[in-house]
Amino acid sequence: MSIEANKVVELDYVLTIEGEVIDKSEPGDPLLYLHGAGNLIPGLEKELEGKSIGDSLSVTVEPADAYGEWNEDALQEFSKENFEGDVEVGATYYAENADGGITPFTVVEVRDDVIIADFNHPLAGQTLHFDVKVLNIREATEEEIEHGHPHGADGTEAHDEEEFK
C-alpha cells in the first residue's frame, strides 16, 4: 500500500533547522496523520505521496512550502493596558481573531506603554529538514475522512478535537 489521499500514515521523524533538532517523534509514539487533509505542511506531504511502509527519506522544505516567509506585516503593536501583569519578550500569548478563533503570537519587544507582537508562525522563513521513516499505512475510516484527522492507529481511538487544530 502506498501513501495517497485518505490514507492514515504513521511516521517517525526528526525535524532540524541548520543541523539543530527542533522536533522529533518519540520512540513508540509516531506521528499519525490523514494524508491529503492538510494535517502536514504541504512540502512534506507532497514528498510523502506514493511512499510505502519501510521507506525512509530526507526532505528539505523551503519556507513557501512550510510555514511561509517571515512577514513584517504580521508585527502589531498593542497597548500594554491590554495585558495583565508583567509581559516578557519571547512569551507566547493568544488573541481572539475576527471569526472567534484563537491566534498565538510572540512578544518581540516591550516598550514603556506598547507591546510589539509577532503573529508569524515561529518557523516562518525557515528552511526545514526532515528525516522520515514510514512505519504504517492504512485506509482511513469514513469518520476520520469526515473529521479530517485520524482517530488512532486502528481508527477507533478517540482524540480531543482541539489536539488537531
121-154 pLDDT per residue, tens:
999 999 999 999 999 999 999 999 999 999 876 6
**Same domain, yes or no, for 63 and 137?**
yes
Spatial strand order of the sheet with 102-110 comes to 75-79, 114-118, 102-110, 92-96
Q: Is the dihedral of CA 39, 36, 62, 15 positive or negative?
A: positive
- Cα(70)–Cα(72) distance, rounded to whole angstroms? 7
pTM of structure = 0.81
- Cα(78)–Cα(74) distance, rounded to whole angstroms? 13
- Domain range for 103 is 72-118
**Same domain, yes or no, for 92 and 132?**
no
pLDDT tens-digit profile of 45-100?
A: 999 999 999 999 999 999 999 999 999 999 999 999 988 889 999 999 998 888 99
**Does residue 100 belong to any structural domain of this protein?**
yes
**Does residue 1 belong to any structural domain of this protein?**
no
**b/e sequence 46-77, b meaning 16+ C-beta within 10 Å:** ebbeebeeeeeeebebebebbbeeeeeeeeee
Tell me the residue type at 100: G
pLDDT at 98: 87
The grid coordinates of residue 68 equal 511561509
CATH code of the domain containing 130: 3.10.50.40
CATH code of the domain containing 90: 2.40.10.330
**Same domain, yes or no, for 56 and 136?**
yes
CB neighbour class for 125 (10 Å; exposed up to 12, middle 13-18, buried from 19)? middle
- Is residue 9 within 8 Å of residue 35, measured between CB atoms? yes
**Same domain, yes or no, for 26 and 55?**
yes
Counting the structural domains of the chain, the total is 2
**Same domain, yes or no, for 55 and 130?**
yes
**Same domain, yes or no, for 85 and 105?**
yes
**Of 34, 55, 30, residue with least CA distance to 45:** 34
pLDDT at 115: 96
